[in-house]
A = this chain, B = another copy of it.
């Protein structure tokens, strides 16, 4: 057979012999490790391991069966959790936006260049404004308006659309609505948001205005997983850029856009490459 590639993520209690056990198991089943990154949480001793490998004897699907049988034996009594991803199972990304195009266009451009490591299957917005900019990228555009007092209806339609698209990752690329806890629980899959501040500073609405009023000398951008508590989910990537007393709120917004774009792209790419593991509201990002 032609070799296939996959990513194995392991999380368990730490103990001597894990690496020897798992790497021998992989070797004995014809797998060659290409990348290996590990981390141990100093506070609770939890061990995390990402293995990117080439399987030379078995299709990844078959290897899944082997690992399901063997891993719990090799790592018994260690509260093992593991996931195996087949390189050919590309994630299906839905980008959600309101009226600001910069993050959306950037992600579509990277998709167009084949850089993302996943497929953008749709753009969904609560406004029709950005549709013309999406067209040349040949990605479908859906408008799901969110009317006052009818948010649940909009979210029901959104959930339906995401499911029909077989979406596996939602990216909020400056989507100006807060998703309800009900929606998040019903959806149950990862959502990455870009917040235009250096979290935990300036949570909530108008972070650039808040930054201006506090008189900071840097503004930030934070990509994080969405959880029920607003802007409090695990942080994947952050960056800052300098501002001065000369900058109005509008200037700050203009300067901030560049880092919103690059921080969001960095986080989405890391997620798609299975480089991000979540532990106790923090992320391990194997770069």
Copies in the complex: 4
Chain B minimum-CB-distance residue to A279: B245
B27–A20 CB distance below 8 A: yes
A45 → chain B closest CB, angstroms: 12
For chain A residues 183-198, which have a beta carbon within 8 Å of chain B?
A: 198
Chain B minimum-CB-distance residue to A138: B132
Q: A19-B27, A216-B238, A245-B285 known; 8 other A-B pairs, CB under 8 Å?
A: A17-B27, A133-B136, A199-B214, A199-B216, A200-B214, A244-B287, A245-B284, A258-B261
A18 → chain B closest CB, angstroms: 8
For chain A residues 94-117, which have a beta carbon within 8 Å of chain B?
A: 101-102, 105, 109, 112-113, 115
* A215 neighbours in B (Cβ, 8 Å): 234-235, 281-283
Chain B minimum-CB-distance residue to A38: B36
Main secondary structure of the interface of A (DSSP, over half): mixed
- A residues adjacent to B (C-beta < 8 A): 16-17, 19-20, 23-24, 26-28, 30-40, 42, 56, 101-102, 105, 109, 112-113, 115, 132-133, 135-137, 198-202, 214-218, 220, 234-240, 244-246, 248, 254, 258, 261-262, 265, 281-285, 287
